[in-house]
Amino acid sequence: MEIHSHGTKGDFRKVSITLPPTIYKLLLEESTRRKIAGAEDSLLSAIAREGILGTLSLLPNEEMELKIYRYADQTGSGEWHEMSTLSDFASAVCGRNQNKALFQQLVAHLMSSGYLEAKKYAQNQADYRPFGKDDDPINFLSSRVVIKIRLTIPGRRRFEALQARQELAGSQQ
């Protein structure tokens, strides 16, 4: 098998697509530009692959979302991960230079949407109280008691989809 910079010959699946004339014209113009410049990958299929892969790259908030899922899933699939404080959670996910306000909004969205499940220790009940639909996610996580988080089934699906996109985008660079 021949090896090319864009992959191994035969390591592709052929598909047919229908394009509007304006997009087809753009592909032809880019192909011509590359041929004149002597650039590699001047075939229409190579240009279309690059365009598709560009849409598969993770956006910055999706990268943060993936980090949140990885943090929550440290102890294993379906297991509860104990965290100390929301601030420590943010530092573990964001580091020092990231937007912690965006992190809090994203965590609130993931909990409210049912992607992350959380429970906190209620001393008066000597047991864990789950995050409820009437709870504010940030207030719930901001308390100074033991908090546990884990992915839900929809959260796991989203986690695995983001991981696959990241791996695919990384393997094509």
Domain ranges, residue 114 = 60-167
Are the C-beta atoms of 139 and 101 separated by less than 8 Å? no
pLDDT band at 10 (very low <50, low <70, confident <90, very high): low
Residues 6+ apart with CB under 8 A from 122: 128, 129, 145
pLDDT digits (tens, 9 = 90+) for 44-97: 888 888 777 667 778 888 999 999 999 999 988 889 999 878 888 888 888 876
| End-to-end Cα, the chain, rounded Å | 21
Rounded CA separation 64/102 (Å): 9
Give 25's contacts (C-beta < 8 A, 6+ positions apart).
none
Position 107 in a domain: yes
Choose between 37 and 66: higher pLDDT.
Answer: 66
> Are residues 111 and 27 part of one domain?
no
Q: Is residue 94 domain-shared with residue 74, that is, in the same domain?
A: yes
Q: pTM for this one? A: 0.68
